[in-house]
Amino acid sequence: MKTYAAELSANVVVNIIVGDYVWANENCDGEWVDCTDNGDVTIGIGYTYDAALDEFVAPVFPEPEVL
């Protein structure tokens, strides 16, 4: 099963790699957390990480204006 790691900057996902977050924390710059869900990655760049809940929150974009 593949594992994925998300790099955070101010709790926002800025990078995702295929690999273990422990390895990433030991060998790469930045803060890395696990983002594997049943062998798949279900987040993306721009998601916010809530450490207290250990979950990612999708960004919210405003509805476009209808002209």
| pLDDT averaged over 10-residue windows placed end to end, the chain, 67 residues | 93 96 96 88 93 93 88
- Amino acid (1-letter code) at residue 42: T
pLDDT digit string (tens) for 42-54? 899 999 999 999 9
Q: What is the pTM assigned to this prediction?
A: 0.85
| Per-position b or e across 2-34, b if 16+ CB within 10 A of its CB | ebbbbbbeeeebeebbeebbeebeeeeeebbbe
Structure tokens at 53: 């809940």
pLDDT of residue 40: 79
Each domain of the chain, given as residue ranges in start order, spans 4-57
Burial class (CB in 10 A: 0-12, 13-18, 19+), 41: middle
pLDDT of residue 39: 76
